[in-house]
Amino acid sequence: METWPIVAVFTQGMASPFSGVLLARLFPFPFGVAALLAEPKDGFETMASELARKGMKAHAPATIVGKSGVKHEFAFALVQDPGKAKVVVDTELSVRDVDEMKVLKFYVKVFDVGPEKAVLCVSPKLAPRAATLAKEYGITVLEDEVPKKLIPMAEKLVNETVG
């Protein structure tokens, strides 16, 4: 498909925090999905590397085996004891408000893994019902129109949790 290389050029060269978002929201598919996903993925990897240098067991992406024996993948996780997650982070990036099914999808993974803190990074924002559900489930939600801005927000939260 000819469009994909073009997307790759755009996403690799994005210096402005608005470029990927603009592209994504102007051209929801297939430009949108690829452009939205590229930024936070790289950001979490950098964040994990930085925390690892400080001696923390941080992984991005992270695969954690839950109580059920099922393997779950998170965008980022901070692990303490072997196999025990302290913080798990996932992202939900969309061209429209994120619905409650995405919150539920994250929650069932969190339920199985049982971390101290579960963070869902959302762009642009949760739909009202999804926000209510996240609150009920005790999920910390970070929202921003610009996906790239979610990384420092998540990093700050992780650092606060670690103390």
Please tell me whether residue 79 adopts helix, strand or coil conformation: strand
**Among positions 5, 13, 69, 82, the unique one binding other proteins when judged by CB under 8 A:** 69
Q: Are residues 107 and 88 in contact, defined by beta-carbon separation less than 8 angstroms?
A: no
- By CB under 8 A, tell whether 70 contacts other proteins: yes
Pure H helices in 13-149:
19-26, 33-53, 100-113, 128-136
Rounded to an integer, what distance in angstroms lies between the CA atom of residue 106 and that of residue 120?
Answer: 8
The least CB distance from residue 93 to other proteins, in Å, is: 16
Rounded to an integer, what distance in angstroms lies between the CA atom of residue 45 and that of residue 93?
Answer: 17
- By CB under 8 A, tell whether 4 contacts other proteins: no
Please tell me whether residue 19 adopts helix, strand or coil conformation: helix
Name which of residues 39 to 68 contact other proteins (CB under 8 A).
Answer: 66-68
- By CB under 8 A, tell whether 114 contacts other proteins: no
The least CB distance from residue 99 to other proteins, in Å, is: 11
Q: Which stretch binds other proteins (CB under 8 A): 11-19, 26-34, 101-109, 147-155?
A: 101-109
Which one, 4 or 111, has the nearer CB to other proteins? 111
The residue with tokens 């609150």 is 135
- By CB under 8 A, tell whether 73 contacts other proteins: yes
Query: Residues interacting with other proteins, by CB under 8 A?
Result: 66-73, 101, 104-112
